Amino acid sequence: MSAIEKNKTTVDGGACGAPPPNHHLPDEVLLDYASGAADEGVSLLVATHLTLCPICRDRAAELDALGGELVENLPPADLSDDAFAKLLARLDEPGSEPAAAEPARKEQATDDATLPRVLQRYVGAAAQDIPWQPLGLGVDHVDLSVEGGSRAMLLRVPEGRAVPQHTHEGNEYVLVLQGGFSDAHGHFVRGDVEASDDSVDHRPVADGGEDCICLAVTDAPLKLTSLVGRALNRFAKL
């Protein structure tokens, strides 16, 4: 908390490039990411925000350091007697480079001013080639495939339209990638995250002067039908 407060005053007129975001991830979400308890959708949200937010990168590093200290303090467990000998033997094996998964991670992402690379891996395309699906009333979305209980999607909302939100259980996080939106809690631009729980109903409206593209993650499972229904209801009320 204090890091955020402290930096709010210093970020304007900081280094070249975009200023850091003003709306950040809650501590308990960063903690889940540091501990590994966050599922894939929430982790994707966190990694995307961390790319765009040096303040939360510091907070996340502090929680990693907490994890390091806690593990350092654990009573050591006995290893099997030959554990180190086995490891040495593996170091000598040719072609035992770790992680066959690594080439996949290194898959060259095209550089893209909108989507951070970690997100491009999930979208499978740069921003101009996203396979948008209409969600109704000019709003498009594309579902991202993530394991675990959460859902992740990209939304594209034309200026002046409501950003569909669909929290009826659990938490929803909306991270702006392009354009912006405003609601009772303020103005949200690239890098900002709005976190809402099921008690919140605040109708964000896209207002960034261009299409608003955002990453929406819900940490409770939702049915698409109810999602679309709620989104359309929301528009109908406008």
Partner 1 sequence: MSESEAAARPEPGPAEHAVWMRAVAEERSRGAFARLFAHFAPRLKAYLMRSGSDEQSAEELVQEAMMIVWRRAESFDPKQASVATWMFTIARNKRIDGYRRNNRPELDPEDPALTPQPEPMQDDQVGVRQTAEAIREAIAALPEEQAEMLRLAFYEDKAHSEIADQTGLPLGTVKSRLRLAIGKMRGLVDDELR
User: Which residues sit opposite 196 in a β-bridge?
Assistant: 172
Nearest to 127 by CA among 215, 188, 23: 215
> Using CB under 8 A, which of the segments 30-38, 135-143, 208-216, 228-236 binds partner 1?
30-38
Q: For the chain, how big is the Rg over CA atoms in Å?
A: 21
Q: The tokens of 233 are what?
A: 């209801």
Interface residues for Zn ion in 48-107 (CB under 5 A)?
53, 55-56
Cβ closest to partner 1, residue 64 vs residue 201: 64
106 half-sphere exposure, CB direction, 13 A CA radius: 5
What token pair was written down for 6? Answer: 């402290």
Task: Quote the DSSP letter at residue 162.
Answer: B
- One of 23, 24, 25, 50 touching partner 1 (CB under 8 A): 50
Build a one-symbol-per-residue string for 160-199: x at contacts with partner 1 by CB under 8 A, - elsewhere. Answer: -------------------------------x--------
Does the protein bind partner 1 through residue 100 (CB under 8 A)? no
Assess 127 for contact with Zn ion (CB under 5 A). no
- Considering CB distances under 5 to 8 angstroms, the limit depending on partner class, which of Zn ion, partner 1, none binds residue 24? Zn ion
CB of 24 or CB of 166, closer to Zn ion: 24
Structure tokens at 216: 């929406």
